[in-house]
């Protein structure tokens, strides 16, 4: 493949100057209007590249098309990234620092934040590479402005080199992914892709085809409130019952702070109320639906046992589905992952099939009929002031995308039945 004259770093450094932090409290869509400011800039850039249909709709979705340069049928491939940054850490006034020729050790930042080699084992793979961070006062924004920059760099290269054959490519940049609403108004049918990829992963070479299965449990406890001076034998304190339920949960092996890899968890993340009524909200996570239901049954059994000691109390146990492991859908057509793994290999990187201990836009899109695994960006420590990304790994992400769309074309050439 002809060497890529990369534009992704300059694009990335420009994008992170836009404050696009989304909001969990907002009821609008997008949750913050400032995301659309970057959206307008992205539309302008796409049109300057020659993608004449580039637009941003009323919801803040930026879309564009790079037409096929072959005549035979190739499935339409979507490339997706998100423009918002996490509500957890400020994304305003990001000041970037490039640390050239990394030679190991900790990376101290001006704000007093230290990116330690001990807590960042991936730094051991970056010897001689160039690392970008913020100054430590804010997050960096690699999640997911690096993905946008890498997609745009790949599209720019394909436009400049029409000898690289590909089918129709659809581009989408979504708002509000970080608050779980990225696909809320996304029109899969209008987007028109048959398969897609989010460029929103982390470590070099990773292709992720699994997410958690996720449910939310709301547990409401109703007690009996009477004047505490005359409460003997009458008062039932919902707060104490709620506290007993939480205290009864195992400390090891079922909490996010003690689990990793394929282990799921039961996570009480919100509690409110008073003597008469208390509410606990739980996040339930597992990589299988069966495991999810086992954890919900376990939680209900433990809560029922606590309630059995308080016969005058009552409990409502409500389960709401959040999302499901996208692998259940992606396994129906393994080509979508196999081609991504091959693209990583062609970029001279060892592919690693990974899983996401969370959810992505790809989870929901896969269940809407658009199979959407996730590809690495080269970023690390997302949602943190210790966030960092490798320039060389960004370049490999771009190469992977360029190889990927060519693989889809190759596999669908007449006479090729691979």
User: By the 8 A CB rule, do 344 and 351 touch?
Assistant: yes
- Which residues are known to be catalytic? 84, 177
| pLDDT > 90 in the chain, percent | 93
Residues 296, 353, single domain; the answer is: no
Residues 199, 347, single domain; the answer is: yes
Give backbone dihedrals phi and psi of 150, rounded to 5 degrees, phi first: -70, -40
Domains in the chain, number: 2
Tell me: pLDDT of 44 over 70.
Answer: yes
User: By the 8 A CB rule, do 198 and 208 touch?
Assistant: no
Q: For residue 337, what is the domain's CATH number?
A: 3.40.630.10
Q: Which pLDDT belongs to residue 2?
A: 67
Tell me: pLDDT of 67 over 80.
Answer: yes
Collapsing DSSP states into helix, strand and coil, what is residue 353? strand
For residues 1 and 229, give the distance between their C-alpha atoms in angstroms, rounded to a whole number: 82
For residues 207 and 344, give the distance between their C-alpha atoms in angstroms, rounded to a whole number: 9
Tell me: pLDDT of 418 over 90.
Answer: no
Question: Across residues 360-388, what is the average pLDDT?
Answer: 94
For residues 237 and 225, give the distance between their C-alpha atoms in angstroms, rounded to a whole number: 7
0.85 exceeded by pTM:
yes
Residue 1 maps to a domain: no
Residues 96, 235, single domain; the answer is: no
Residue 417 maps to a domain: no
Q: For residue 226, what is the domain's CATH number?
A: 3.30.70.360
**Which region among 127-131, 186-190, 321-325, 359-363 has the lowest average model confidence (pLDDT)?**
359-363
User: By the 8 A CB rule, do 224 and 260 touch?
Assistant: no
Collapsing DSSP states into helix, strand and coil, what is residue 342? helix
For residues 305 and 299, give the distance between their C-alpha atoms in angstroms, rounded to a whole number: 10
Banded model confidence at residue 10, pLDDT cuts 50, 70, 90: very high
Question: Across residues 155-169, what is the average pLDDT?
Answer: 97
Residue 218 maps to a domain: yes
Give the domain-ending residue among 266, 295, 322: 322
User: Which residues make Cβ contacts (< 8 Å) with residue 9, sequence separation at least 6?
Assistant: 132, 149, 391, 394
Residues 283, 375, single domain; the answer is: no
For residues 133 and 379, give the distance between their C-alpha atoms in angstroms, rounded to a whole number: 10
| For residue 144, cis peptide bond before it (omega within 30 degrees of 0) | yes
Q: Which pLDDT belongs to residue 19?
A: 98
Give the domain-ending residue among 322, 351, 375: 322
For residues 373 and 385, give the distance between their C-alpha atoms in angstroms, rounded to a whole number: 27
Angle at 52 between CA 57 and CA 170, to 5 degrees: 65
Residue 418 maps to a domain: no
Residues 66, 168, single domain; the answer is: yes
Question: Across residues 367-371, what is the average pLDDT?
Answer: 95
Residues 382, 297, single domain; the answer is: no
Question: pLDDT of 375-401, one tens digit each?
Answer: 999 999 999 999 999 999 999 999 999
Question: pLDDT of 84-94, one tens digit each?
Answer: 999 999 999 99
Give the domain-ending residue among 322, 349, 384: 322
Mean pLDDT of the residues in the chain: 95
Which residues constitute the domain of residue 113?
Answer: 8-211+325-411
Question: Across residues 127-139, what is the average pLDDT?
Answer: 98
- Measured from the Cβ of residue 227, the count of other Cβ atoms closer than 10 Å reads 8
Residues 78, 202, single domain; the answer is: yes
Helices then strands (H, E): number in the chain? Answer: 10, 18
Q: Which pLDDT belongs to residue 417?
A: 57
Question: pLDDT of 213-261, one tens digit each?
Answer: 999 999 999 999 999 999 999 999 999 999 999 999 998 889 999 999 9
User: By the 8 A CB rule, do 170 and 77 touch?
Assistant: yes
Residues 228, 340, single domain; the answer is: no
Residues 54, 109, single domain; the answer is: yes
User: Which residues make Cβ contacts (< 8 Å) with residue 303, sequence separation at least 6?
Assistant: 219, 245, 315, 317
């Amino acid at each position: 493949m002809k060497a890529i004259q990369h534009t992704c770093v300059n694009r990335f450094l420009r994008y992170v100057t836009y404050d696009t932090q989304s909001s969990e409290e907002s009821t609008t869509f997008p949750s913050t209007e400032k995301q659309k400011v970057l959206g307008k800039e992205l539309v302008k850039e796409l049109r300057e590249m020659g993608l004449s249909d580039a637009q941003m709709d009323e919801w803040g979705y930026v879309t564009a098309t790079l037409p096929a340069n072959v005549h035979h049928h190739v499935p339409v491939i979507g490339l997706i990234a998100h423009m918002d940054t996490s509500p957890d850490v400020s994304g305003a006034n990001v000041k970037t620092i490039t640390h050239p020729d990394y030679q190991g050790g900790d990376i101290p930042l001006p704000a007093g934040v230290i990116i330690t080699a001990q807590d960042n084992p991936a730094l051991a793979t970056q010897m001689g590479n160039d690392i970008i961070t913020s100054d430590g006062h804010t997050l960096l924004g690699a999640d997911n402005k690096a993905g946008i920059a890498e997609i745009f760099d790949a599209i720019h290269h394909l436009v400049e080199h029409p000898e690289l054959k590909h089918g129709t490519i659809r581009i989408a940049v979504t708002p509000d992914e970080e608050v779980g609403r990225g696909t809320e108004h996304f029109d899969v049918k209008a987007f028109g892709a048959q398969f897609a990829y989010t460029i929103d992963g982390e470590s070099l070479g990773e292709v992720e085809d699994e997410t958690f299965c996720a449910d939310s449990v709301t547990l409401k406890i109703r007690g009996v409130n009477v004047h505490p001076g005359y409460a003997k034998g009458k008062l039932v304190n919902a707060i104490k019952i709620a506290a007993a339920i939480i205290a009864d949960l195992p400390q090891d092996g079922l909490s996010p702070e003690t689990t990793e890899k394929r282990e799921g968890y039961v996570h009480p993340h919100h509690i409110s109320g008073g003597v008469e009524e208390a509410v606990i909200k739980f996040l339930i996570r597992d990589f299988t639906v069966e495991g999810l239901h086992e954890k919900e049954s376990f939680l209900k059994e433990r809560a029922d046992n606590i309630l059995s000691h308080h016969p005058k109390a009552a409990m409502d146990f409500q389960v709401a589905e959040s999302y499901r492991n996208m692998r259940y859908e992606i396994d129906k057509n393994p080509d979508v992952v196999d081609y991504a793994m091959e693209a990583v290999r062609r970029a001279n990187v060892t592919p690693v099939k990974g899983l996401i201990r969370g959810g992505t836009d790809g989870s929901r899109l896969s269940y809407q009929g658009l199979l959407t695994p996730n590809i690495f960006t080269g970023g690390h420590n997302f949602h943190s002031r210790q966030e960092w990304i490798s320039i060389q790994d960004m370049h490999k992400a771009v190469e992977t995308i360029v190889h990927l769309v060519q693989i889809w074309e190759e596999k669908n050439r007449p006479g090729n039945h691979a």
